């Protein structure tokens, strides 16, 4: 990784005219149709056993034929169409990866009207050019955008997306100069909390913000309204729109909270260690079940605690990506350690004290240490990270390469 610069995305709201909005909608519609057709074609190949590794290039090579057969596709930028094929390819790559890792595979799915929200110009300049406060899109027109913060670095790709309150352009830039934060000489480990969002090795508890629960309640209500109405009716679409706005609000609040939490950690610490959750999830059950007295599976409190934890886990991935990017930008480091009994072992003496998820306090029968369960885990994560490179990985920024289909 280049040390002086990072790659990052700048997102701006677009201000299209009603006609431009229609044109954007049409492009989105055509991209979605192409996505589904390409998926269908792959599925047929797969079922017939005609699987060849070059399918991405094969499908890409067929695009000119598509334009001859369906002239309306000539109205869509060629590189945007190629990117749609690339998305299908990525969906399949991810599917194969999941199969290989023994996860629930989840076959790539067809995208309905409500599930396909964006299209991408994979090469800046090829159909999308920014000119002052105006984004020029080939075959669509010049759309003003709200440049609320300046762009930096070299412009690489432009993704146009439709959200509940309008259209946005996400511009991915490379070689964005870092803005290093002063070094503090401090390190910490962090763990997902049972009741709180996260706990540091220093014993700081970062609470889940309260307004989340309120917004989430509003979202559930809106979802309920959608389910009560007749699907496809005018009132149903209205409820769907309302629900999408609520969802967007929850999403923004959560992302805002993640950014603030990450920034404060990056300010305070030079190195932040955390556990690789993907592996931990697979290894959790044996850890939680100590000696076959069945305390874990039948205990209601433990079940609820487990549920809370898994909800936190879901947000944790997004947070981890934000934290890693912020750290890279600030000249700090996030390291991922392989999980190994971090919540069971005593951070004082190393004795393994088995406990189910409902046990909130770590009580060591060997050295007498009494500590909050999550704090004990965070201390173990810190110790494991400091112990050295035996598996510790500098976390990647989670940035996806937009050019090459195979990563």
Applying CB under 5 A, which residues contact Zn ion? Answer: 346, 348-349, 351, 364, 366-367, 369
Q: Which of 289, 111, 270, 107 is nearest to 180 (CA)?
A: 270
Judge whether 58 and 41 are in contact, CB under 8 Å: no
- Comparing CA positions, the residue from 6, 43, 29 lying closest to residue 75 is 29
Instruction: Tell me if residue 191 is catalytic.
Output: yes
- How are beta strands 271-275 and 333-337 bridged, if at all? parallel
* DSSP codes joined into one string, 42-65: HHHHHHHT---TTHHHHHHHTHHH
Q: Look-up: residue for tokens 């890409």?
A: 60
Shortest CB 362 distance to Zn ion, Å:
9
Q: Which is nearer to Zn ion, 74 or 367 (CB)?
A: 367
Please answer whether residues 370 and 361 qualify as being in contact, where contact means their C-beta atoms are separated by less than 8 angstroms. Answer: yes
Q: How far is the CB of 351 from Zn ion (least distance, A)?
A: 5
In the set 83, 191, 335, 375, the catalytic residue is: 191
The burial class, CB within 10 Å (0-12 / 13-18 / 19+), for 174 is middle
Place of tokens 């599925």: 43
Distance CA 392, CA 381 (A): 11
Residue 65 is a catalytic residue: no
Nearer to Zn ion, 55 or 347 (CB): 347
Q: Rounded distance, CA 81 to CA 179, Å? A: 36
- Any residues with CB less than 8 A from the CB of 288 and at least 6 apart, and which? 296, 302, 306, 356, 357
Q: Say how far apart CA 53 and CA 36 lie, in whole Å.
A: 20
The three-state secondary structure class of 383 is helix
For residue 281, what are the contacts with CB-CB under 8 A and spacing of at least 6?
313
Residue 25 falls in the annotated catalytic set = no
By C-beta, is 281 or 366 nearer to Zn ion? 366
**CA-based nearest residue to 371, from 382, 360, 362:** 362
Nearer to Zn ion, 34 or 346 (CB): 346
Strands 154-163, 166-177: pairing is antiparallel
CB of 383 to Zn ion, least distance (A): 13
Q: Least separation, in Å, of the C-beta of 288 and Zn ion?
A: 20
Q: CB-wise, 55 or 344, nearer to Zn ion?
A: 344
Active-site choice (83, 345, 374, 375): 374
Out of 83, 89, 270, 275, the active site residue is: 275
Cβ proximity to Zn ion: between 89 and 191 the closer is 191
Taking the complex as a whole, how short is the minimal distance between the CB of residue 375 and Zn ion, in angstroms? 14
Based on CB atoms, which residue is closest to Zn ion, 164 or 363? 363
Query: In the bound complex, what is the minimum distance in angstroms from residue 379's beta carbon to Zn ion?
Result: 11
**How far apart are CB 170 and Zn ion at their closest, in Å?**
49
**Three-state secondary-structure class, residue 360:** coil
- Which residues does the annotation mark as catalytic? 191, 275, 374
């Amino acid at each position: 990784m280049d040390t002086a610069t990072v790659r990052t995305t700048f997102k701006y709201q677009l201000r299209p005219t009603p006609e431009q909005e229609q044109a954007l909608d049409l492009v989105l519609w055509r991209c979605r149709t192409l996505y589904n057709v390409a998926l269908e074609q792959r599925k047929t190949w797969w079922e017939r056993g005609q699987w060849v590794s070059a399918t991405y290039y094969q499908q890409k090579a067929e695009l000119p034929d598509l334009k001859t057969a369906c002239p309306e596709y000539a109205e869509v930028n060629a590189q945007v169409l190629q990117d749609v094929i690339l998305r299908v390819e990525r969906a399949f790559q991810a599917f194969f990866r999941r199969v290989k890792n023994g996860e629930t595979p989840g076959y790539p799915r067809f995208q309905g009207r409500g599930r396909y929200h964006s299209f991408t110009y994979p090469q800046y300049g090829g159909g999308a050019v920014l000119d002052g406060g105006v984004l020029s899109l080939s075959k669509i027109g010049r759309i003003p955008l709200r440049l609320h913060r300046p762009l930096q670095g070299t412009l690489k790709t432009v993704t146009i997306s439709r959200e509940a309150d309008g259209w946005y352009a996400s511009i991915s830039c490379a070689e964005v100069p870092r803005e290093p934060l002063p070094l503090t000489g401090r390190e910490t480990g962090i763990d997902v909390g049972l009741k709180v969002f996260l706990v540091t090795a220093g014993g700081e508890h970062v609470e889940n913000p309260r307004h989340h629960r309120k917004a989430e309640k509003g979202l559930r209500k809106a979802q309920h309204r959608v389910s009560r109405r007749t699907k496809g009716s005018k009132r149903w679409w209205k409820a769907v729109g309302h629900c999408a706005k609520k969802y967007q609000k929850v999403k923004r609040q959560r992302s805002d909270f993640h950014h603030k939490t990450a920034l404060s950690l990056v300010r305070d610490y030079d190195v932040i260690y955390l556990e690789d959750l993907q592996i931990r999830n697979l290894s959790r059950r044996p850890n939680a079940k100590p000696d076959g007295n069945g305390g874990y599976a039948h205990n209601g409190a433990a079940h609820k605690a487990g549920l809370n934890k898994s909800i936190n886990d879901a947000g944790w991935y997004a947070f981890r990506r934000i934290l890693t990017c912020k750290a890279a930008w600030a000249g700090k480091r996030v390291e991922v350690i392989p999980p190994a009994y971090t919540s069971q072992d005593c951070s004082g003496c190393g004795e393994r004290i088995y406990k189910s998820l409902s046990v909130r306090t770590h009580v060591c029968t060997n050295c007498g240490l009494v500590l909050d369960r999550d704090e004990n885990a965070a201390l173990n994560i810190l110790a494991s990270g400091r112990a050295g490179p035996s598996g510790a990985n500098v976390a990647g920024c989670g940035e996806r390469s937009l050019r090459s289909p195979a990563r």
